[in-house]
């Protein structure tokens, strides 16, 4: 009996030991997943999360302060929503370039769902995004993006812009509507196959609608709608945006109907024509993404992206030239050296004008037009730098932290063209220059934007010297941006004094 009891006891020990070993192996195999955790961040409060730490009028400033405390990757609670913030050049490059597939989807806030409903280019995902982006990039190239033909379009638009500035007779005026109209006309010529007169009431309304939508999306009340959709719906915080989107949709719908009536496969005049032809080609397919709703959304995406950011950068350029007349003078001296009087600037001139090129890049860096970037999201659970970012988490690749990264720039918080010049005055590229974002979701039209910025900025400084209005000193000029999704200078007046 004692003998049997001994072996039964030993058997129990073996069973328990086997169970322990099995559990230990299971734990070892799953240790990465079980020990991984979300990135650190401030303790959230009930209902408001960390909104007590974020200035909704200037969220980019709050995020810069928080990144100093919590590092290059941290979690913030915007109300009940948990978001991961990526800060600094190295972190954002690793996420969006090296690990592009892990961060490749677009997070859709409620207000942007109103904009796109999952369609178009900017706020779509999956096959819709792939098809629409592929078609759009290809079509923009067909219409000359990055080529001589688009250079001619920009030069053609530069001339009426210069004449409009001249008509002000050196008196103070606001450049906003004129510059937005000129920049918009370049993309209009590509989308609709034509330009508009600056005083065309329909065109003016279109520009105003774009302006208003960009400002509204960045206001605290609309951001609160994103964080608390149920509350926002009750208060109607999004209704103005809905109306703007409907007005834009009506305009685009009318344009597409008109183009359909005159459609000629041998005379494709713009993006809408190309889309309509593609739609006809795919009409027999059981499944196609080339439908009317996608057309309207794609056109709005291209039109908005092709107007607002470039125009905002040019506004910053004029304001900064007034603020720093010595920099303006050096740009003009370089222009006189390399461009003959009476000749318009060309893209080819840029390689001989390193200082002007550096100034334009510094305007983009310092202006920080899209401070929060557009949010990404994780298509699966992602392990990144020792942390777990669960599937579907909104990720903010915080561009301000790159454009103002102290490890990448000589003088990150000053407007200084030397950030892009070496000791010999030659232009120096910097990988931390990311105003268009990077990776798969980078701006599809950045080559067009770069061309526009050089030709418009150089052409305007060739023709004019920009000065503050009488009674206003350069020290009085305000470099603080207005409130909005994009950082646009607060309204200002300038005097454009002809150089000849």
Dihedral sign for Cα atoms in the order 134, 137, 142, 147: negative
What is the dihedral angle through the alpha carbons of 461, 450, 338, 431, rounded to the nearest 10 degrees? 110
Mean pLDDT of 225-251: 85
What pLDDT does 36 receive? 60
Residue 9 has pLDDT above 70, yes or no: no
What pLDDT does 44 receive? 95
Q: Angle at which helices 292-305 and 126-142 pack, to 10 degrees?
A: 60
What pLDDT does 242 receive? 87
* 352: phi then psi, degrees, rounded to nearest 5: -95, 5
Residue 15 has pLDDT above 50, yes or no: no
What pLDDT does 342 receive? 87
What pLDDT does 31 receive? 33
Percent of the chain whose predicted confidence (pLDDT) is above 70: 93
Residue 338 has pLDDT above 50, yes or no: yes
Q: How far is CA 109 from CA 92, 113, 116, 124, 298, in A?
A: 21, 6, 11, 12, 18
What pLDDT does 241 receive? 85
What pLDDT does 64 receive? 97
What pLDDT does 12 receive? 53
Of 384, 392, 398, 395, give the one whose Cα is nearest residue 37. 384
Q: How far is CA 72 from CA 20, 67, 106, 182, 321, in A?
A: 39, 6, 21, 39, 34
Question: From the centroid of its chain, how far is CA 439?
Answer: 13
Q: Tokens 């009506």 appear where?
A: 250
Of 139, 379, 110, 151, give the one whose Cα is nearest residue 279. 139
Residue 245 has pLDDT above 60, yes or no: yes
What pLDDT does 38 receive? 94
Residues 326-331: contacts with CB within 8 Å, 24+ apart? 327/359, 327/417, 328/461, 328/465, 328/466, 330/355, 331/355, 331/356, 331/359, 331/458, 331/461
17-72 pLDDT per residue, tens = 444 453 334 333 333 343 469 999 999 999 999 999 999 999 999 999 999 999 99
Q: How far is CA 470 from CA 173, 316, 327, 365, 474, in A?
A: 12, 20, 20, 29, 11
| Region of 438 on the Ramachandran plot (φ > 0 left; ψ -120 to 50 alpha; else beta) | beta
Question: From the centroid of its chain, how far is CA 489?
Answer: 16
Residue 107 has pLDDT above 60, yes or no: yes
137-165 pLDDT per residue, tens = 999 988 877 777 889 999 999 999 999 99
What pLDDT does 10 receive? 52
175-214 pLDDT per residue, tens = 999 999 999 999 999 999 889 999 999 999 999 999 999 8
Which is higher by pLDDT, 235 or 86? 86
What pLDDT does 283 receive? 83
For the chain, give the mean pLDDT. Answer: 90
What pLDDT does 33 receive? 41
State the Cα–Cα distance between residues 417 and 174, nearest whole angstrom.
26
Percent of the chain whose predicted confidence (pLDDT) is above 90: 73
Residues near 146 by Cβ (< 8 Å), separated by ≥ 6? 447, 448, 451
Q: Angle at which helices 176-191 and 308-323 pack, to 10 degrees?
A: 150
Residue 1 has pLDDT above 80, yes or no: no
The answer to whether 418 and 410 are in contact (CB under 8 A) is yes
283-326 pLDDT per residue, tens = 888 888 999 999 999 999 999 988 999 999 999 999 999 999 99
Mean pLDDT of 255-280: 90
| pTM reported for the whole predicted model | 0.91
Residue 498, CB-side half-sphere exposure with 13 Å CA sphere? 10
Question: From the centroid of its chain, how far is CA 272?
Answer: 23
């Amino acid at each position: 009996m004692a003998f049997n009891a001994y072996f039964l006891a030993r058997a129990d020990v073996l069973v328990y030991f086997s169970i322990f070993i099995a559990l230990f192996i299971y734990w070892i195999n799953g240790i990465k997943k079980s020990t991984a955790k979300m990135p650190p961040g401030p303790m959230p409060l009930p209902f408001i999360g960390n909104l007590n730490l974020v200035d909704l009028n200037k969220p980019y400033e709050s995020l810069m302060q928080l990144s100093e405390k919590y590092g290059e990757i941290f979690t913030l609670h915007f109300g009940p929503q948990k978001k991961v913030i990526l800060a600094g050049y190295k972190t954002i490059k690793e996420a969006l370039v090296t690990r592009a597939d892990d961060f490749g989807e677009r997070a859709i806030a409620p207000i942007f769902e109103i904009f796109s409903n999952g369609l178009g280019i900017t706020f779509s995902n999956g096959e819709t995004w792939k098809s629409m982006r592929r078609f759009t990039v290809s079509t923009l190239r067909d219409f000359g993006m990055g080529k001589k033909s688009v250079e001619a379009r920009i030069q053609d638009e530069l001339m009426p812009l210069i004449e409009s500035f001249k008509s002000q007779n050196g008196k103070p005026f606001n450049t906003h509507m004129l510059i937005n109209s000129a920049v918009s006309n370049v993309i209009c010529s590509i989308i609709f196959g034509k330009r508009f007169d600056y005083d065309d009431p329909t065109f003016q309304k279109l520009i105003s609608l774009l302006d208003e939508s960009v400002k509204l999306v960045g206001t605290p009340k609309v951001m609160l709608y994103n964080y608390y959709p149920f509350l926002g719906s009750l208060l109607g915080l999004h209704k103005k945006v809905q109306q703007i989107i409907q007005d834009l949709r009506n305009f685009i719908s009318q344009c597409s109907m008109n183009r359909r009536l005159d459609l000629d496969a041998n005379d494709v005049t713009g993006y809408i024509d190309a889309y309509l032809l593609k739609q006809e080609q795919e009409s027999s397919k059981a499944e196609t993404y080339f439908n009317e709703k996608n057309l309207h959304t794609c056109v709005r995406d291209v039109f908005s992206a092709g107007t607002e950011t470039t125009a905002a950068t040019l506004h910053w350029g004029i304001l900064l030239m007034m603020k720093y007349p010595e920099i303006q003078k050096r740009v003009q001296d370089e222009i006189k050296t390399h461009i003959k009087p009476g000749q318009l600037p060309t893209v080819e001139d840029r390689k001989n004008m390193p200082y002007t090129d550096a100034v334009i890049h510094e305007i983009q860096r310092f202006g920080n037009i899209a401070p929060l970037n557009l949010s990404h999201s994780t298509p699966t659970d992602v392990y990144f730098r020792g942390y777990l970012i669960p599937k579907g988490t909104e990720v903010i690749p915080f561009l301000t932290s790159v454009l103002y990264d102290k490890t990448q720039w000589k003088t990150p918080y000053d407007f200084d063209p030397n950030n892009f010049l070496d000791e010999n005055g030659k232009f120096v590229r910097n990988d931390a220059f990311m105003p268009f974002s990077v990776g798969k979701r980078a701006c599809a039209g950045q080559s067009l934007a770069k061309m526009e910025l050089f030709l418009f900025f150089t052409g305007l400084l060739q023709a004019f010297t920009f000065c503050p209005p009488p009674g206003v000193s350069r020290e009085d000029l305000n470099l603080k941006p207005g409130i909005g999704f994009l950082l646009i200078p607060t309204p200002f007046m300038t005097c454009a004094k002809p150089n000849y």
